[in-house]
Structure 1
Amino acid sequence: MSDPQNKQALIVLDMQNGLFHAPQPPFEAHQLLQKINQLIDYAHLKQIPVFAIRHVGSDHTPLASTSPLTQFIAELNIDHDLDQVLEKTCPNCFFQTDLEQRLKSLNIQELIVCGLKTEFCIDSTCRATKDLGFKVQLISDAHSTVDSAVLTAQLIIQHHHHTLSQAFVQLKTCAEFCI
């Protein structure tokens, strides 16, 4: 852990079939999965709680909680007996969830954030985390997105690194965190 005085938790966002195995896969999808699994394995080894969060929508829609699209990808190293799994309906994983209460019950002070998508759930969650008084480490090589109509995924990621690191997060690579 980077600072033993700060109790940490790993937040894995939206690593689900509908986003990861989409017709347009995330930028550098293979490396993304590899890095996130490395983070999960490291968290398990160091007894850092893991919170796997997936985005769901209304019943009888493609985003229903029972839909194959909203299920975690099979390749993800989540341990359903050990890790905490939550559902969210908005980009901010704190909105209308009990995540904050779960974190506070464990005396968590710092969140390690990774997953999908950079400009939506990663951005919203990092900002909300900071607003709630937690420290935030965004793993710079363990989040991703897809090209938009105006920017490549790589530029979206670079932009968010620059913006979020100004006031909301500390950036670290997977290798820097997992030492």
Structure 2
Amino acid sequence: MKYAIVVVDVQQALMNDGLYIKEEFVSNIQDMLQFGREKNLEIIYVRHDDGKGEALTKGAPGYDVFDGIAPEDGEIVFDKSYNSIFKKTGLKEYLKEKYITNLIIMGLQTEYCIDATLKAGVEHGYRMIVPVGTITTRDNGEFTARQLNEFYQYTIWNGRFAKVLPINKVKELI
């Protein structure tokens, strides 16, 4: 069973003060990336492109991966224009070529791209893992970011679409 760490949509334009547990989120991702690099795991980044004229447009200043977790040499970056990281990105083919079947998913935003990615990942036969504290969002409508994070992690995903585990438990799996 080969593992990969996948960082979804942690881009400059999205890293503002409205994010729930922002500092903890960044620190936890940095911790997992360091662990993954030490264990020689495949580390994959995915960026979202909303199209011309948007903050998340290829070439715009906010499009790049957030500086605090930027890819290192040899780490691959995929671009997407749908919520799921799998749709028309070439990622499935890449993972197949590398015999990767277990994906550790971290990033933004809980109720959008992370949710779509976890559900699509299960449909494509991947074992999906979410380390607690490595996904986040912002308040949305009548729901706080905390409510969204907790609801999706423990009511929607855990045991259905992913294993939601503390970081130390994720490290023990590998």
TM-score using structure 1 length: 0.91
- Please give the root-mean-square deviation of Cα atoms over the aligned residues, in Å: 1.2
Which sections of structure 2, spanning at least 5 residues, go unmatched?
Answer: none
Do structure 1's residue 11 and structure 2's residue 6 form an aligned pair? yes
Q: What is the letter of the counterpart of residue 63 of structure 1?
A: L
- 1:30 lines up with 2:39 in the alignment: no
Number of residue-to-residue matches in the alignment: 171
SS at match of 1:50: strand
In the alignment, is residue 70 of structure 1 matched against residue 66 of structure 2?
Answer: no
Separation (CA, whole Å) in 2 of partners of 1:98 and 1:110: 17
Secondary structure of 1:109 counterpart: strand
Contact preservation (8 Å) 1:25, 1:146: yes
**Corresponding residue for 2:78?**
86
- Percent identity between matched residues is 22
Residues 71-94 of structure 1, C-alpha deviation per residue, up to 9 Å, x if partnerless? 111111421x12111111111010
Residue identity opposite 2:166 in structure 1: T
Shift of 1:167: 1.4
Distance 1:141 1:62 in 2: 25
1:93-134 Cα offsets, whole Å, 9 max, x none, are 101110000001000011000111000011000000110001
CA distance in 2, matches of 1:151, 1:68: 30
CA distance in 2, matches of 1:152, 1:109: 33
Stretches of structure 1 that go unaligned for 5 or more consecutive residues are: 1-5
What residue in structure 2 maps to residue 136 of structure 1? 128
CA distance in 2, matches of 1:142, 1:95: 22
Deviation at 1:63, TM superposition (A): 2.3
Conserved 8 A contact 1:9-1:49: yes
Instruction: Give CA deviations for 1:16-59 in whole Å, capped at 9, x if unaligned.
Output: 111113xx431010000000011111111101101111111223
Q: Are 2:51 and 1:51 aligned?
A: no
> Could you tell which deviates more after superposition, 53-62 or 125-134?
53-62
1:121-160 to 2 correspondences below 5 Å: 121-160=113-152
Q: Bigger CA drift: 92-101 or 164-173? A: 164-173
Correspondent of 1:113 among 105, 111, 124: 105
Partner of 2:15: 20
SS at structure 2 position matched to 1:75: helix
- The answer to whether the 8 Å contact 2:13/2:55 transfers is no
